Amino acid sequence: MAVSTEQIAQTDAPRTAPGPKGAPFLGSALDLKNDLLGTTHRAMLEFGDVVRFTVGAGRFQEEAFGVFHPDHIQHVLAGNSSNYVKDDGVYTELRHLLGDGLLTSEGDDWKRQKRMIQPIFTHRRVASYVPMMAAEATGAVERWSGSAGSSVDLNDEMARLTLSVVGRALFGADVEGAVPVIRRTVPFLSERAIQRAIFPLPVPENWPTPANRKALKYQQALYDVVDELIAARRAKPAEGEDLLGLLLQATDPENGSGLDDKEVRDQVLIFLLAGHETTATSLTFTLHLLGQHPQIQENLRTEVDRVLQGRTDPSLEDIMNLRYTTMVIKEAMRLYPAAYGIPRFCKNGDTIGGYNIPAGHSVFTSTWATHRHPKFWDDPERFDPERFTPEREKARPRYAYFPFGGGPRACIGQYFSMLEAAVITAMLIGNYRITTPEGPVKLFTGITLRPQGAVPARIERR
């Protein structure tokens, strides 16, 4: 029986949070490794809104706390965010891999970067990428005509498309040479980072194992291609306003300093990683679910026809008018949140919902579990875009739905990716009827949530 934390008087002495016992010596290590999402979700249903997980035993035992109630998520990510830093295993690995960009940095370093980068992501600037997004989506519509009447792999198609979009936003016309290197290296490196973060005693990175050597080679290839683009751009500034150009010009409003080449590279790598797989996953599941729900797909197509009237150059106003399309994307991101968990490290001890959170432990929020919390979502597994009408959205606590995180570290690319997802969904569904097989897609929990393997869809030209 789940314990509601609201039933615990705040004046009581903090208690030890309940949680699964797991296996002897291992605790929940194997359950989490084999089924991270299911284990977390079941623990929320069984133990309540704050759950203590143990991993390992004796000297090697570690504890991590899952917090699932929207009020507690608000506390960790926003209200008391200065106590919850990014020093957990996942962010430590990400830092090794990608350096100290906006996603991974902390403290004054993060504040300085945020001051410089925020102006690059104003709505006005991001909206200027809509024509490029539409051109990329039109390219996909044309490419798909060769497969009409047969099948495409949504997973592969969306990864290609979103990489092109974020690549063009970053590098403008210079992106072509970089794409094959990014596609070859980023999936391996991101998978490796999460495996190392979950595994209690990863092999030191400087040991010359085959996996370490491969990681080093891939990381170097990625750095080289980005460094070349930076050097070329410093030598000959391009026309237009791609993100790389804007990063090179960015200055700190407090002291006028700029970003050096390494800092620019760190940002570029973060944007590439954070901005490509996440949107690809959101789009893949949006299309997959539409393929399983023909009536919802038809409703969406009716909206696209009414708003776009066959045009392939949507304006920002058009996208704003694609309200149902946006509801569908939000509902797909509820069921399949690309950032399925948001980890933190508790610096000083805390009490959450009456439970003791000792200093120096990992605390994680889980979009996967909270987006299925039975108190806030009726029949949580059902795909129902009507959950996202403005009235129903307003009636829910802010952190019952948080695919882009929240508080000071909320996603800077949220507006970018929602515009991109709406443009791509509208253009594809406006031109093709999609059918996908019944049943769930096998999932892979890397740094982000991804489908494991191909996600086939049968497509018919309208």
Least separation in angstroms between CB 213 and ligand HEM: 29
Phi, psi of 227, deg, nearest 5: -60, -40
Considering beta carbons, is residue 20 or 407 the nearer one to ligand HEM? 407
Three-state DSSP at 357 gives: strand
Least separation in angstroms between CB 425 and ligand HEM: 12
Considering beta carbons, is residue 342 or 429 the nearer one to ligand HEM? 342
The residues of the shown chain that bind ligand HEM, judged by CB under 6 A, are 102-103, 114, 166, 270-271, 274-275, 278-279, 282, 338-339, 342, 403-405, 409, 411-413, 416-417
* Segment (H or E) for 137: helix 130-144
Considering beta carbons, is residue 271 or 388 the nearer one to ligand HEM? 271
**If phi over 0 gives left and psi between -120 and 50 gives alpha, with beta otherwise, what is residue 138?**
alpha
Task: Tell me the residue nearest to ligand HEM as measured from the CB.
Answer: 413
- To the nearest 5 percent, what fractions of the chain are helix, strand and coil? 55, 10, 30
Tokens at residue 21, please?
């016992």
Enumerate residues 6+ apart whose C-beta is below 8 A from 85.
Answer: 106, 344, 345, 347
Place of tokens 């090179």: 248
Least separation in angstroms between CB 403 and ligand HEM: 5
Considering beta carbons, is residue 416 or 432 the nearer one to ligand HEM? 416
Place of tokens 């569904």: 429
Considering beta carbons, is residue 404 or 432 the nearer one to ligand HEM? 404
Considering beta carbons, is residue 111 or 375 the nearer one to ligand HEM? 111
> Of 235, 245, 232, which is closest to residue 168 (Cα–Cα)?
245
> Of 236, 226, 304, 296, which is closest to residue 265 (Cα–Cα)?
226
Least separation in angstroms between CB 313 and ligand HEM: 22
What's the one-letter identity of residue 163?
L
Least separation in angstroms between CB 391 and ligand HEM: 24
Least separation in angstroms between CB 280 and ligand HEM: 9
Considering beta carbons, is residue 271 or 432 the nearer one to ligand HEM? 271
Considering beta carbons, is residue 278 or 445 the nearer one to ligand HEM? 278
Least separation in angstroms between CB 99 and ligand HEM: 12
Least separation in angstroms between CB 407 and ligand HEM: 8
Considering beta carbons, is residue 3 or 140 the nearer one to ligand HEM? 140
Least separation in angstroms between CB 163 and ligand HEM: 11
Distance between CA atoms of 435 and 292, rounded to whole angstroms? 6
CB 320 within 8 A of CB 422: no
Distance between CA atoms of 435 and 56, rounded to whole angstroms? 45
What are the distances in angstroms from CA 330 to CA 17, 333, 393, 400? 32, 5, 11, 13
Strand 62-67 vs strand 361-365: parallel, antiparallel, or unpaired? parallel
Count of C-beta atoms within a 10 Å radius of residue 64: 22
Considering beta carbons, is residue 66 or 413 the nearer one to ligand HEM? 413
Least separation in angstroms between CB 330 and ligand HEM: 11
Enumerate residues 6+ apart whose C-beta is below 8 A from 168.
Answer: 129, 132, 136, 175, 242
Distance between CA atoms of 160 and 424, rounded to whole angstroms? 12
Tokens at residue 413, please?
């690319």
